[in-house]
Amino acid sequence: MTESRLTGSRQAVTETYVIREFLKEDIDNVMRINQTCLPENYPSSFFLGLYTHAPKAFLTALANGKIIGYIMCRIERGISSFKRAFPVKKGHIVSVAVLHDYRFRGIGTDLINQGIEGMVSYGAVEFFLEVRKSNAAAVTVYEKLGFEVGRVLKGYYRDGEDAYLMIRQKINASEEADTND
């Protein structure tokens, strides 16, 4: 469990938020955030299946005891996006969302970073996600976290919108030290 401070540009008060693993009793709140924040919605069985598959990579963010965001991921096996014909474990960020009133405070970034840590604990060495081409704010966040556009997925979403398939390799400890200089 990680604790961070968050401040809003219009708030003088500093709030604390905590990121922890999803609990089954969180399901209604997580589904409500999904339905509020994203056009892609899932049944509870989908959320619970991802939780069962990779609980260390299904996280929630809480402020004042209230769930304000989540990330859910799964582990897949596939061909590397970076090394030709090389099989790897991949971490798939299936869904991440933060309530509107808590955005632009680093919570989504913390969820993604900790979700990646959870996926690494299952052996993932590459990570990917799909994001709407029109979601420029999310694309910018993912790029800052080391993701790059791998390709465009034409008509990926139910409404026909295209998606970017964004990919990233695991950053090892020596690379992290180099980027923090």
Q: pLDDT tens digit string along 117-168?
A: 999 999 999 999 999 999 999 999 999 999 999 999 999 999 999 999 999 9
**In 14-141, at which residue ranges do the beta strands (DSSP E only) sit?**
15-21, 58-63, 66-79, 87-98, 126-132
- Number of domains comprising the chain: 1
pLDDT at residue 63, as a whole number: 95
Residue 131 vs residues 39, 83, 160: alpha-carbon distances, Å: 12, 23, 13
For CA atoms 58, 136, 39, 108, the dihedral sign is positive
Of the CA atoms within 13 Å of residue 76, those in its CB half-sphere come to: 16
pLDDT over 50 (residue 177): no
> Taking CA 51 as the corner, what is the angle to CA 113 and CA 47, rounded to the nearest 5 degrees?
100
Mean pLDDT of the chain: 88
- Written as six digits, the tokens of 52 are 């069962």
User: What's the domain range around 56?
Assistant: 2-179
Q: What is the DSSP letter of 171?
A: P
The lowest-confidence range among 5-19, 97-111, 155-169 is 5-19
Q: Do 90 and 129 form a contact (C-beta atoms < 8 A)?
A: no
CB distance 97 to 135 below 8 Å? no
pLDDT at 48: 96
Report d(CA 71, CA 76) in Å as an integer: 16
Q: What average pLDDT does this structure show over 162-179?
A: 71
Give the Cα separation of 160 and 51 in Å (integer). 28
Looking up residue 79, the CATH number of its domain turns out to be: 3.40.630.30
Share of the chain above pLDDT 90, in %: 80
Q: Give CA–CA dist 104/17, Å, rounded.
A: 14
pTM for the structure as a whole: 0.85
